Amino acid sequence: MIGKVLNNRYELLEKIGTGGMAVVYLAQDKLLSREVAVKILQPQFADDVAAVERFRHEAQAVASFSHQNIVNIYDIAKDGDFQYIIMEHVEGQNLKEKVKQSGKLPLEEAVKIAQEVCQALITAHRNNIVHCDIKPHNILLTSEGKAKVTDFGIAQAITSATVVQTESIVGSAHYLSPEQAKGSKVTMRSDIYSLGIVLYELVTAEVPFKGENSVSVALKHIEQEPTFPQEINPALPQQLADIILKAIAKDPAERYNSAVEMLKDLREVSYQLDLQQETANQKTMVISKQEEQETKVISKADRRGVNKQEVIKIDSGGSKEMSTEKDKEPNKNSKRSSKKKVIAGLGIILVLFLAVVGLGYYLLDRYMAVDDVEVPNLRGEHVDLAREQLEELGLNLEVYYESYSNEIAEDHIISQSPEPNRMVKENRVISVVTSKGAQMVEAPDLVGSTLREARVELNRLNLEVGELDYEYSDQIPEDEIISQDPEAEEEVKMDTEVDLVISQGKEPEQVIVPEVVGLRQEEAEQKLQDQNLIIGRVIERESLNYRQGRVIAQDPEIGEELTEGATVDLIVSSGIRNVEGAEVKTSEVRTTIQPGPDREVRIVVEDNNGRRVVYEEDHQAGDVISEEVITVGSARIRVYFDGNVVYERTV
């Protein structure tokens, strides 16, 4: 492939990466004379419609917007059998490579990277794109250290009509959210979870969940709580640990509502880390100044050099006269007097300086000292009431962002930064995210769609599939939707459940269950299949009356009415029960019903297995009865008409 030119424009220079579906090459764009990255779908996927769709979806997902922390998509094209995407070429390494190389990152760097990924997610989410695969491998670091998110190959467009809903679990096991592991609906909070896992790894050099395979790791995301990051990195501030644990909460409702909220908290941590660094730098500066003021020993040579310093005099005529200290011999008393004056002057200056400093500290403490205030819990409060509450405490309110919410009423507070119960200085600004109320959408018209098509459409509009009922219909084909609630075009809140009634097609014909007792199993199964009935459970059991392989009983019984396709269970003889090992005999009982009224005919056997009725039916005059009777050991056979013995035989 090296040296190949795609569409007479992109010359492939070298391979720079390989993934599960695609290979990435560094290429030269001959038209614009610039280096680009070319991502080519691997040949084995060229005929896979789903793979091609997913590959093209990456370009479509991000081509409509750009951001400094997202790798730009320039174009998508095809050259013969080659499907490829043209992307911005980022010189540097991915975040996974950096962690492997350096271990855990300095806190300031880790927080900076997390902030930049947050900013990328904010842009994607505002364009209704969920990345679905945030992991260190998909975060590139430029040579300047800037983070850029790439690989939107499995992103889901949550409001795009072209979204393809997949029932498979997609995403890298160590970073995927519990809802992805369950195959449930993916939301913006899924990306927040994955970013929380990435941040966990950046500050500990470990992922929270490990396992022998992807399935075991996925189950841990669902069921297992992570090790507290501070147990791995004791230097981690509590505030940063809280951000990580909130982002990776199992329940999406317990995570950040948006990447905006997470970014606010990360900026707060970044501010605190910078403050700590400034304090440390100030301490270093004070030590350095003290070192500069230490007494130094001056050598004799140094003193001689000082005594020999030249003094330049300028007379009134402007001429210069040069002399040395030796030429000038001042009066010793005058010299001592000057020295005293200097010392006295310095003393006065020192006293005045101390007085000014003391007065400054007094005024600062008296008039300018700022009290600490505990931040109240504003969640759920109306923004105007919250502002009044903060003003009473000497704090200020800033609405940082507005977001739709089904749970929080309009103009009420969804979240805040700093968090409740934190101690802050008076006049501090408390940033809040307020609710714009529930976002309303029109229920789509799903009648006539398949369930799969309905799921895609509802997901596009952030609606849920509700209860599913199934009914027979002569007009609506099988698997198509008959009706829905709420109805089409009705205004509903996002996340509303839409109940569906689905067609099972035409109602099957009704059939009468035939009698199969006494038949061989193969004969019974064929007879049931001829009636479009399905063989259900087949249980083997010892019999008193039927030899091995014969049907002892059936469920449902003869004459019941079933729909075509219903099941019938059979009990089949595994052989004649013979506890004592006596001889098993077969006898034929044959009789004819004489003229007269209808009669109840019963055949009763008494043998080693006890007394039992082996035949019982009503007959008309002229009917001929021929029944095979099986006995074990010594036996007596009796035939009864209407309860009276008409025939008896000993076997």
Q: Residue 523 is inside which H or E element, if any?
A: helix 521-530
193 closest CA partner among 131, 121, 139, 246: 246
Give dist(CA 611, CA 635) in Å, integer.
10
Give dist(CA 15, CA 38) in Å, integer.
9
Residues 6+ apart with CB under 8 A from 325: 306, 307, 308, 309, 311
Q: Residue 304 is inside which H or E element, if any?
A: helix 300-307
Q: Beta-carbon neighbour count of residue 532 at 10 Å?
A: 14
Q: Identify whether the C-beta of residue 124 lies closer than 8 Å to the C-beta of residue 46.
A: no
133, 151, 191, 607: which is the annotated catalytic residue? 133
- Owner of token pair 């198509």: 480
Q: Indicate the pairing of strand 610-619 with strand 599-607.
A: antiparallel
Give dist(CA 531, CA 516) in Å, integer.
12
Give dist(CA 177, CA 173) in Å, integer.
9
- Has 191 been annotated as catalytic? no
In whole angstroms, how far apart are CA 552 and each of 560, 569, 570?
Answer: 18, 11, 8
Half-sphere exposure of 352 (CA within 13 A, CB side): 6
CA angle, 22 then 25 then 29, to 5°: 125
Rounded to a whole number of angstroms, the CA Rg of the chain reads 45
266 closest CA partner among 112, 160, 369: 112
* Phi, psi (rounded to 5 degrees) for 331: -70, 130
Q: Identify whether the C-beta of residue 254 lies closer than 8 Å to the C-beta of residue 246.
A: yes
Residues 6+ apart with CB under 8 A from 87: 36, 37, 38, 39, 71, 72, 73, 74, 150
Give dist(CA 76, CA 606) in Å, integer.
88
In whole angstroms, how far apart are CA 67 and each of 70, 116, 131, 147, 149?
Answer: 5, 10, 14, 11, 10
Give dist(CA 102, CA 402) in Å, integer.
39
Q: Beta-carbon neighbour count of residue 408 at 10 Å?
A: 21
Give dist(CA 535, CA 513) in Å, integer.
12
Residue 229 token pair: 């990051």
Burial level of 579, CB count in 10 A (0-12/13-18/19+)? exposed
Q: Residue 92 is inside which H or E element, if any?
A: strand 92-94
Residue 459 token pair: 């997901």
Q: Identify whether the C-beta of residue 142 lies closer than 8 Å to the C-beta of residue 92.
A: yes
Residues catalogued as catalytic: 133
